[in-house]
């Protein structure tokens, strides 16, 4: 399709716990090199958000987007005070950006304020894609209630459910149950994509080798991250190949890959806000959109598109 006939890119904020599992970094690279998306900002969440911010800024710099705002967001889940604590969540990919040397400056606007600001500036246009805990978004909805109406939507990778699976709470919802419940009960248009959806898998050993041998600045960053993930992530083996769970939120916005149904998602918060249960139900009158199934061919096509974008030179684009 000629460039002047393509639909306008979808403005997105990527809210991520990048640096722990590998798929966050991979999908950030995919989004930055996809003309379908306009990455207007990146917010990091949960634990050592400063280290996560460094990694995200190393990626945006490699893709020639040094002016993309990257914010170190909330350290701790709602409703705790936002103070660092000794047991910060481990970051496995520190070799990507161990210091601030050579990095674009981080944005000092608080994460929730940044989300609210972009939503207010472009009402009905901006999506927040949450691929970590929902703390930054939950705080934005509480501190800036108009954000729920201004956002085009919140698309979350979280939970396990669907026609052939038992419903269970997923990690991204469990890490901050209060924030998850806040999103579920807000006026925001919420799309919940299951973490364990079939047919949207990961990379092969051949894919990793193609990344290693491509020798672009971008693929060098990716391979460094994969190496750190293999070495430092608990329960990951030295020859493990990356999964792409977080790619599902982008697949939803690309269209034609994930079948969705209207419904309701209920988050039940346990004592002290530390435990949650998830219940979902199909409901034609429900306020939420639930990811339901994905076809095998659609998943294969998405994998091929992902590899094409990852191995390509950074696309030329104006800064946001």
Q: Is residue 94 part of a domain?
A: yes
Cβ 17 vs Cβ 24: under 8 Å: yes
The residues, ordered by sequence, that sit 6+ positions from 135 with a Cβ below 8 Å of its Cβ are 45, 46, 73, 74, 76, 77, 78, 175, 176, 179
Longest Cα–Cα distance of the chain, Å, equals 55
pLDDT at 320: 40
Report how far residue 306's alpha carbon sits from residue 304's, in angstroms, rounded to the nearest whole number: 5
> Which of 44, 55, 132 is closest to 92 using CA atoms?
55
Q: Is residue 157 part of a domain?
A: yes
- The DSSP 8-state label assigned to residue 287 in this structure reads S
Tens-digit pLDDT string for the chain (320 aa):
555 566 899 999 999 999 999 999 999 999 999 999 999 999 999 999 999 999 999 999 999 999 999 999 999 999 999 988 777 777 999 999 999 999 999 999 999 999 999 999 999 999 999 999 999 999 999 999 999 999 999 999 999 998 888 899 999 999 999 999 999 999 999 999 998 777 777 999 999 999 999 999 999 999 999 999 999 998 899 999 999 999 999 999 999 899 999 999 999 998 877 788 999 999 999 999 999 988 888 889 999 999 999 999 999 754 44
Cβ 118 vs Cβ 78: under 8 Å: no
Q: Is residue 250 part of a domain?
A: yes
pLDDT at 290: 97
The residues, ordered by sequence, that sit 6+ positions from 265 with a Cβ below 8 Å of its Cβ are 159, 184, 190, 192, 278, 279, 280, 288, 290
pLDDT at 4: 55
pLDDT at 319: 45
> Which of 60, 69, 31 is closest to 250 using CA atoms?
31
Domain count, the chain: 1
Q: Is residue 320 part of a domain?
A: no
Q: Kindly report the backbone phi and psi dihedral angles of residue 264, in degrees, each rounded to the nearest multiple of 5, phi listed first.
A: -135, 140
Report how far residue 224's alpha carbon sits from residue 244's, in angstroms, rounded to the nearest whole number: 17
Q: Is residue 318 part of a domain?
A: no
Q: Is residue 270 part of a domain?
A: yes
Helix axis angle, 247-254 to 296-311, nearest 10°: 100
What length does the chain have? 320
Range of the domain at 85: 8-311
pLDDT at 288: 98
Q: What is the CATH number of the domain that holds 35?
A: 3.90.245.10
Cβ 46 vs Cβ 19: under 8 Å: no
Opening angle at CA 221, ends 105 and 131, nearest 5: 75
Structure tokens at 75: 């350290």
Q: Is residue 317 part of a domain?
A: no
Judged on CB neighbours under 10 Å (0-12, 13-18, 19+), 163 is exposed
Structure tokens at 125: 């246009």
Q: Is residue 1 part of a domain?
A: no
């Amino acid at each position: 399709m000629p460039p002047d006939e393509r639909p306008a890119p979808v403005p997105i904020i990527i809210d991520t716990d990048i640096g722990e599992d590998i798929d966050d970094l991979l999908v950030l690279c995919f989004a930055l090199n996809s003309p379908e998306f306009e990455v207007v900002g990146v917010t990091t969440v949960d634990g050592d958000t400063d280290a996560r911010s460094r990694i995200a800024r190393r990626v945006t710099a490699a893709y020639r987007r040094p002016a993309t705002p990257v914010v170190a967001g909330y350290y701790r889940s709602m409703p705790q005070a936002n103070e660092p604590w000794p047991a910060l969540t481990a970051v496995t990919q520190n070799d990507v950006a161990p210091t601030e040397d050579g990095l674009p400056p981080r944005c000092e606007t608080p994460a929730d304020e940044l989300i609210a600001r972009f939503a207010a500036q472009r009402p009905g246009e901006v999506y927040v894609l949450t691929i970590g805990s929902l703390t930054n978004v939950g705080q934005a909805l509480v501190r800036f209630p108009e954000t729920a109406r201004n956002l085009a939507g919140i698309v979350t990778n979280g939970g396990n459910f669907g026609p052939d699976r038992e419903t269970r709470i997923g990690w991204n919802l469990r890490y901050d149950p209060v924030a998850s419940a806040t999103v579920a009960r807000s006026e925001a248009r919420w799309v919940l994509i299951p973490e364990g959806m079939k047919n949207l898998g990961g990379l092969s050993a051949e894919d990793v080798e193609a990344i290693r041998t491509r020798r672009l600045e971008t693929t060098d960053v990716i391979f460094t991250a994969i190496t750190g993930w293999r070495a430092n992530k608990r329960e990951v083996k030295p020859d493990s190949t990356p999964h792409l769970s977080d790619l599902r939120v982008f697949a939803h916005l690309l269209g034609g890959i994930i079948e969705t149904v209207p419904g309701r998602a209920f988050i039940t918060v346990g004592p002290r806000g530390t435990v949650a249960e998830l219940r979902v139900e199909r409901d034609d009158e429900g306020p939420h959109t639930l990811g339901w199934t994905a076809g095998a061919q659609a998943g294969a096509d998405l994998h091929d598109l992902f590899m094409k974008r990852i191995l390509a030179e950074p696309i030329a684009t104006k800064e946001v």
